[in-house]
Amino acid sequence: MNNRDAIKINEFFEESHKKHILNETRKELLLKVASKIIETYQSNGSVTMNYICTHNSRRSQIGQVWTFFASQYFNLDIKPFSGGTEITAFHRNTVNTLKEVGFTFHVKEFSHENPVYQVSFEGTENYILGFSKKYDHPLNTTPYFAITTCDSADENCPFIPEAIDRFHLPYKDPKYADNTSEQGKAYLYTNEIIASEVFFIFNHVKSNL
């Protein structure tokens, strides 16, 4: 990567926030998430997030990756994780849309079924591990805020005693466009929406600490 990649990812994050206008109901929900994060951050000096979706292959992975980026962008101590109620794989279309906006993926553990990626970006020496796993995988250190990102995850997730709190932020699953001419556009749109809402949450957190 080079400095051009760093500019690209910053611009995507900022432009996504400017581009997508939140309705009042969604804004109120995101502010509730931010307020709870602020309370915990003020007590502990850090916060841990676990994005949970049924398969941990698309929306929950994007949420984790953008929260990882937000930790450096806003200079906050945020530990982002993700998980599912089932194990599948970090979907290749999700990987591709995140690569498109500037993230780097290096295969740490090769597998045809569920490879493990080191995910990073220009300007940081840190990385997160990206692969599909259960929401209670040992890597997902507790306690954390549980953020469910699809309807079925909210309905099917059992009680999560490790969670400080639990919020449901549903996003339309881009897999509806898999293997169609709309595939790239659908994944990029989901990428933008999640980036914009991660920006909104942590911009509010940063401004109120």
Please state the domain count of the chain.
Answer: 1
pLDDT of residue 150: 86
* Mean predicted confidence (pLDDT) in 150-174: 84
Range of the domain at 107: 3-207
pLDDT digits (tens, 9 = 90+) for 19-69: 999 999 999 999 999 999 999 999 999 999 999 999 999 999 999 999 999
Peptide linkage before 138 cis (omega within 30 of 0): no
Q: In percent, how much of the chain has pLDDT > 70?
A: 94
Mean pLDDT score of the chain:
94
What is the CATH number for 196?
A: 3.40.50.2300
At 17, list the tokens.
Answer: 């926030």
pLDDT digits (tens, 9 = 90+) for 177-193: 999 999 999 999 999 99
pLDDT digits (tens, 9 = 90+) for 116-147: 999 999 999 999 999 999 999 999 999 999 99
CA–CA distance, 201 with 51 (Å, rounded to integer): 14
| Beta carbons within 8 Å of 12's beta carbon, 6+ residues apart | 101, 102, 192, 195
What sections of the chain are H helices per DSSP?
A: 3-19, 24-44, 59-73, 92-100, 151-156, 183-207
pLDDT of residue 155: 67
At which residue do the structure tokens 């881009």 appear?
Answer: 174
